[in-house]
Amino acid sequence: MSDQTEYDLVVVGGGSGGVACARRAASYGAKVALVEGSRLGGTCVIRGCVPKKLLMYASQFGAQLRDGLQPGWVVHEASFSMQAWQQAKQTEIDRLEGIYAKMLQNSGVEVLRGWASLPDANHVQVGQTVLATRRILIATGGTPNRTAFEGLDIAPTSNELLDLTELPAHIGIVGAGYIAMEFACIMRGLGARVSVYYRADLPLRGFDLSLRQRAAEAMQAQGIELHPHSDCKKLERVSDQFVLHTQTGAHRFDWILNATGRSPNTEGLGLDRLGVRLGAAGEVLVDEWNRSSVPGLFAVGDVTNRVNLTPVAIAQGRALAENEFNGKNLTVDHNAISSAAFTSPPIATVGLTEEQAAASGPVRVFETAFRPMKTAFSGGNQQTYMKLVVDDRTDRILGIHMLGDDAPEMIQVLGITYVMGATKADFDRTVAVHPTSAEEWVLMREISRRV
């Protein structure tokens, strides 16, 4: 195969963004090869979003059995087996990887297994095989950070957590982003004691302040131990325990999770010898059309460190294929992306935070907080919180934020209204569906504050 065939596109990385681009390009008649050294599906399918949400379902079910049964129901002798869940998860992930392989095969994309390097901007080497190509797409995603403080390299990451066959009694978590807080809620819901250590005053940096405050309160109400302003100095293994040293002393755990973030996965590709411009975190710097500083070399997804979400990588990959092989001129608007953290309760958002919106002009803020009917009837205390940030000059909705059950599902639809430029008046004249939690979005009339 060495240099005998010239490809129109070689994709390095078999995750969501790379697969989406490869399939779309092939649909327009391009000759495409995709290189993957691990499993097809990437972080999201194999060791990220999908198995995490499967474990979240198990956790929520257990919490409902303990605290959320509706009046009249009694359940006897329910128990959770991490090993049984693990076996079911492996079966499901194998099935999904098979679907990815089949989709690529049916699309006419040639798949090569192995680790890629780039001798130059027109060749990709995989073992002893060298592929000649007109275009190269880097879609290698990210990898966990392991250097924040001494000893962190011995800590398991979310990769290992999702492969556990036994539930640890006491888990320490270092970090306060999506991964840290989602797994804190999941493991607590399964019955583990959970302690979270982070430098900031609140978890989930980047979300609206109101959501962050309420999320922290909800987690503490579940028994999750939050340790803000923690200065983690060292991690070591002592016998069968992990010992985390902070400014307040030594803290022992049966298991620990390194959730200090992820960095672009560019090491070993040889991008430096090609003169590809990289950012401070090692990310491939690209323009709005996903073009790097080297002609013919592109990058999408987490390796570019822009908005590190699976649907964003897919949108970028498909836009690239449309532009290169279907004569389009598409870009992805990174300012209008809905996102969610699958904590307990989940939070979801689209648009600007209150602080961001107020920095550019006067805004009106509308809020509501309540106990949903299902929760109130079962005797629970979990709150739902909703917030609209409105431009006081144009009446346009600038930010939509929610904490509560079904927040991720609602924000997907509400994101459409945001992209369309909906106003508060549009919400006000929409008739409610009763009784639902979602009706509160169109019933908020009282202004909480003007900023």
Give the whole-angstrom CA distance, residue 81 versus residue 187: 13
Do 15 and 124 fall within a single domain?
A: yes
Which three-class secondary structure state does DSSP give residue 231?
coil
Question: What is the distance, to the nearest Å, from the Cα of residue 3 to the centroid of all Cα atoms in its chain?
Answer: 38
Domain boundary among 224, 242, 260: 260
Q: What is the dihedral of CA 201, 205, 211, 214, to 10 degrees?
A: -30
Amino acid sitting at position 410: M
Please compute the mean of the pLDDT values over residues 33-38 and round it to a whole number: 96
Domain for residue 362, yes or no? yes
1 confidence band (pLDDT: 50, 70, 90): very low
DSSP secondary structure of 89-148 = HHHHHHHHHHHHHHHHHHHT-EEEES-EEEEETTEEEETTEEEEES-EEE---EEE---S
Residue 417, Cβ density class (10 Å: 0-12 exposed, 13-18 middle, ≥19 buried)? middle
Residue 402, Cβ density class (10 Å: 0-12 exposed, 13-18 middle, ≥19 buried)? buried
Please compute the mean of the pLDDT values over residues 135-154 and round it to a whole number: 96
> Can you give the CATH number for the domain in which 413 is found?
3.30.390.30
Do 106 and 128 fall within a single domain?
A: yes
> Can you give the CATH number for the domain in which 217 is found?
3.50.50.60
Q: pLDDT tens across 108-121, in order?
A: 999 999 999 999 99
Domain for residue 334, yes or no? no
- pLDDT mean across residues, the chain: 95
Is residue 203 reached through a cis peptide bond, with omega within 30 degrees of 0 on the bond before it? no
DSSP state of 245: E
Domain for residue 318, yes or no? yes
Do 66 and 93 fall within a single domain?
A: yes
Domain for residue 92, yes or no? yes
Give the whole-angstrom CA distance, residue 414 versus residue 401: 10
Q: pLDDT tens across 67-82, in order?
A: 778 889 888 888 899 9
Domain that holds residue 21: 6-143+263-325
Amino acid sitting at position 413: V
Domain for residue 65, yes or no? yes
Domain for residue 330, yes or no? no
Residue 363 has pLDDT above 80, yes or no: yes
Do 10 and 138 fall within a single domain?
A: yes
Percent residues over pLDDT 90 in the chain: 92
325 confidence band (pLDDT: 50, 70, 90): very high
Domain for residue 338, yes or no? no
* Residue labelled with tokens 């979300």: 207
Please compute the mean of the pLDDT values over residues 50-63 and round it to a whole number: 93
Give the whole-angstrom CA distance, residue 287 versus residue 15: 21
Do 49 and 167 fall within a single domain?
A: no
Do 245 and 158 fall within a single domain?
A: yes
The set of residues, in sequence order, having a beta carbon less than 8 Å from that of 39 and lying 6+ positions away, is 14, 46, 97
Residue with the bigger pLDDT between 279 and 377: it is: 279
Report whether 258 contacts 175 (CB < 8 A): yes
For the chain, how many structural domains are there in total?
3
Q: pLDDT tens across 382-434, in order?
A: 899 999 999 999 999 999 999 999 999 999 999 999 999 999 999 999 999 99
Q: Looking at residue 68, what is its pLDDT? A: 78
Q: Looking at residue 376, what is its pLDDT? A: 87
Do 290 and 350 fall within a single domain?
A: no
Do 246 and 278 fall within a single domain?
A: no
Q: Looking at residue 413, what is its pLDDT? A: 97
Q: Looking at residue 4, what is its pLDDT? A: 61
Residue 348, Cβ density class (10 Å: 0-12 exposed, 13-18 middle, ≥19 buried)? buried
347: its two tokens: 């939070």
Give the whole-angstrom CA distance, residue 430 versus residue 234: 55
328 confidence band (pLDDT: 50, 70, 90): very high
Domain for residue 1, yes or no? no
Domain boundary among 274, 292, 325: 325
Q: pLDDT tens across 211-227, in order?
A: 999 999 999 999 999 99
Kind of pairing between the strands at 234-238 and 339-341: unpaired
- Residues recognised as catalytic: 434
Domain boundary among 243, 260, 277: 260
Residue 3 has pLDDT above 80, yes or no: no
